[in-house]
Amino acid sequence: MENSRMPLLGEKVPEFEAKTTHGMLNFPHDYKGKWVVLFSHPADYTPVCTTEFVAFQKRFDQFRALGAELVGLSIDQVFSHLKWIEWIKEKLGVEIKFPVIADDRGKIAEMLGMIHPSKGTNTVRAVFFIDPTGTLRAMLYYPQELGRNMDEILRMLKGLQIVDAHKVACPANWPNNELVGDEVIVPPAVSESMIAERKEQASKGEIQCFDWWLCHKKLEEPKGHKGR
């Protein structure tokens, strides 16, 4: 589990074993072949974190439909996690179905760069997107004072899966881009032969182009893709 620095995009996430609300976890081995959204929260029994857990759970089935698992983490003991989850179910009527890592010594959070200066021993609101090979594909960091946008997290997951499946790029605000709507960006030409290829594709109506370096197209399967 030792690592001298936090992982970078495109690197394998460090391996570790941890106690969770669902028992012992061997990470990322236990999720081999699946996407994982690993997120940290500052502490149990805190207002914003409670709203986040409810929001994540409300979208639990949507993450599962994309072949992804949710995993929470904070520097709390497992009995604190269990009692808080019990409170959420009893008081708010929401059953938390994803595991929560009990990183009571903070070693995992420190290894993953989830503890920032001036925040003491609390983790910030970090989100790691890990692909089925155990590679870190994207990261988000929110301050403690700002709750996360769960729909953006879902959008990022869908976008990463589409990028992998179709070898394209997703424009700003995809799938509601101001220029191309729900279409995706075709990789730009990097040679004279590719420029000719892009122009030929455009003439056949296979793609649409503002110019040879800015082309887009509609996906054949824009909905229901699970990234597997």
Residue 120 belongs to domain spanning = 16-147
pLDDT tens, residue by residue, 141-174 = 998 899 999 999 999 999 999 999 999 999 999 9
pLDDT, tens digit, for every residue of 53-74?
999 999 999 999 999 999 999 9
pTM, two decimals, is 0.90
Question: What average pLDDT does the chain have?
Answer: 92
192 and 116 co-located in one domain: no
Residue in the block written with tokens 């976890």 = 25
Is it the case that residue 126 has pLDDT exceeding 60?
yes
Domain count along the chain: 2
For 8, 116, 128, 187, the CA distances from 169, given in Å and listed in that order, are 20, 31, 20, 7
Distance (Å, rounded) from C-alpha 54 to C-alpha 60? Answer: 10
CATH code for the domain of 178: 3.30.1020.10
pLDDT in tens, 11-51: 999 999 999 999 999 999 999 999 999 999 999 999 999 99
Last residue of one domain, picked from the residues 147, 179, 195: 147
How confident is the model at residue 104, as a pLDDT?
87
Instruction: Identify the residue whose tokens are 């730009």.
Output: 188
Q: Catalytic residue among 49, 170, 209, 215, which?
A: 49
Specify the pLDDT at position 221. Answer: 57
Residue 224 inside a domain? The answer is: no
Q: How high is the pLDDT of residue 224?
A: 43
CA distance 42 to 194: 49
Token pair of 51 as six digits: 């709203």
Query: Does residue 49 have an active-site annotation?
Result: yes
The reply to whether 93 and 189 lie within a common domain is no
